[in-house]
Structure 1
């Protein structure tokens, strides 16, 4: 009788373990799916424009903080573009014209992604300056993005941030 109870307990623990593993697998798969949905495939020109806007956001308040440098460098690594890449330096020194044109020509998802990265760069140093908010607003306006769309992107970024803090 004791042997049967022990076997029943062991079987129950195995089943619970498998259900837990399965639940964790579903969670991991869902996380990967969500992470993939946040990413878009950018051309090299779009990547350079993205890095330009991130650089611009990081330096618009007159200070390129260590956290901003870290986020910028991480994005450079993600795109496999060196922070001192000659083409990137050209983008940065030439100003808004070409990056804005690239962003205007990009699809909606790409525009949302790039603006989202700008918002993340704005938040990374834990200080939101008026100049940074102005840059977001002006960039969105120049590419024809509505305020509602900017608000939706901001809300998504804030939601992701809140989830990452849990």
Structure 2
């Protein structure tokens, strides 16, 4: 688990592996009965913690301007992480699937009760995000989702990280 501070906001992030109840959680997410409200992300599509931070920052900015593209601040994180302009496709590609075995859970301004409820909700093993994320990352899927070109990611020109961050940062905001 780690926390990232934003002006007047905090983001708590927890990574779970070997999740056994993803279908149950996904159903609660879809019928909007998930408590507490969470961003549920497929960690295989997350290039880095910094990319997640950038998406969260864009979400907070949109929330402050009352210009969310999605229904909630937490779904906005998933959407902004996608770098897409199509909301449904972004949520589908980057959100937690109903058969997921790993999930990256994010909560803004989490209380101790929220963290305890999240740990009680997800039946899985909590792992260190800094070390585990790199092992879960699917570089081929990331390249495909962000449409990174070979030239763009050549040594001396740029990296996949650079391309992903550019896509997230420059995706249109509503």
TM-score interval (norm. to shorter): under 0.3
Larger helix fraction of residues: 1
The TM-score, its normalising length taken from structure 2, stands at: 0.27
The TM-score, its normalising length taken from structure 1, stands at: 0.28
Which has the larger Rg? Answer: 1
Larger strand fraction of residues: 2
